[in-house]
Amino acid sequence: MKPLHAFLGLCLAGSANAQLTITDSLSNAQVAQLLEGLNVSITNVTVNCAGSAMGHFSGGSEMEIVEGLVLTTGGADQVAGVVGNFASETTGFPGDADLQDEVGMMTFDACVLEFDCIPLGDTLLFNFSFGSEEYPEFVGSAFNDVFAIYLSGPGFPTPTNVAALPDGTPVAINNVNGNLNGAYFVDNQNAMGQNVAYDGFTTNLTVFAEVSPDDTYHFKVAIADVSDMAFDSGVFLEAFSFRSTSLSTGIVEELPRLGVITGPDGVTVIAPAQAIGAELRVLDAEGRLVLRDRIISDRTSIGTTGLRKGLYTLQAIGVPGLLPVRFVQD
């Protein structure tokens, strides 16, 4: 167990080594852009938690997910750091009624994200991971932080928690750990993790649901502390992984996509051969054109220092089938 009195010093010492970059206080439009993948549309985003509790993360770490959205019971920036750091912060937000019904105990510091999703195909998929400071000390106890990803809509008349292992077991500290379902668990504490503060987290898990094409489905992603306001936990949603395929019409799941590497003075755009020579456009979170350039090779650098902080989209114009890519300007 990590001593509370050592938290501040450890956090400051570890932050310089973190390879994760986390940006909090996101707008609803930025959240929608981070979630929306192939063959789906994301609308009606609402967030009910402290602005510092949710953030965009990117970069290499011990986790399989390299970019996405994280919801925590404390501060999103606390996730980045060596495992010796102690992520334990209270936001002052109340708990969540649905999560309290799940565990039959009081909850605190809830962070809740809700949105509508319209799939083009007859299947809906997304990727997620769950991590916590409560590993391994509270495995087997009743005092585990709780989270759920509720799905409702046609075929799901009541909200259904789809945050589960492939066999349907709900993902929770007592269900996924070093002793139970260990194939899906990463013991970050024993591995002396250098980039993620949480002592343990799951592998990158994929949810698969049968849906009706073009119908509207509602998601509620919620996480909260249970019984007390200490020992943070987080749920990680992989960027652009909410996607739809169709077993009947053969919608292709993966198409060529631009790549991007962010740097202190700009970004490097990685493009396939068919995109060389194409016009490159940068759009802000509201879809407005803010920068225009030309793709000159498989790696094209463009300066972005004049852009405001926020989420941007890169598009190659006139290249059929090439998906855009998003990046965050810090």
pLDDT averaged over 10-residue windows placed end to end, the chain, 330 residues = 32 44 91 86 93 92 92 96 92 90 90 94 93 94 92 97 94 95 96 96 94 95 89 94 73 61 81 89 83 90 88 84 77
Closest C-alpha to 20, from 61, 52, 53, 51:
61
Cα angle, residue 211 at apex, residues 205 and 214 outer, rounded to 5°: 120
Tell me the C-alpha distance between 52 and 73, whole Å: 10
Q: Which domains does the chain have, with CATH numbers?
A: 4-245 (no CATH), 259-329 (2.60.40.3080)
How would you class 149 by CB atoms within 10 Å of its CB: exposed for 0-12, middle for 13-18, buried for 19 or more? buried
Question: Residue for token digits 């949480």?
Answer: 198
Note the pLDDT of residue 5. Answer: 30
Q: What is the pLDDT of residue 321?
A: 67
The DSSP code for 308 is P
What is residue 249's predicted lDDT score, i.e. its pLDDT?
52
Helix, strand counts (H, E) of the chain: 3, 21
pLDDT for residue 247: 61
Please give the structure tokens belonging to residue 177. Answer: 């750990």
**Which one-letter amino acid corresponds to residue 170?**
P
How big, in percent rounded to 5, are the helix, strand and coil portions of the chain? 10, 40, 45
Which of left, alpha, beta for 206 (phi over 0: left; psi -120 to 50: alpha)? beta
Reduce the DSSP state of residue 314 to 3 states and report it. Answer: strand
DSSP string for 67-105: EEEEEESS-GGGGBS-TTS--------B--HHHHHHHTS
Closest-CA residue to 114 (of 65, 39, 54): 54
Q: How far apart are CA 207 and CA 126, in angstroms?
A: 5
Please state the φ and ψ torsions of residue 257, each to the nearest 5 degrees. Answer: -135, 145
Look at residue 75 in the predicted model and tell me its pLDDT: 94
Record the pTM. 0.73
pLDDT for 8: 30
End-to-end CA distance of the chain: 34
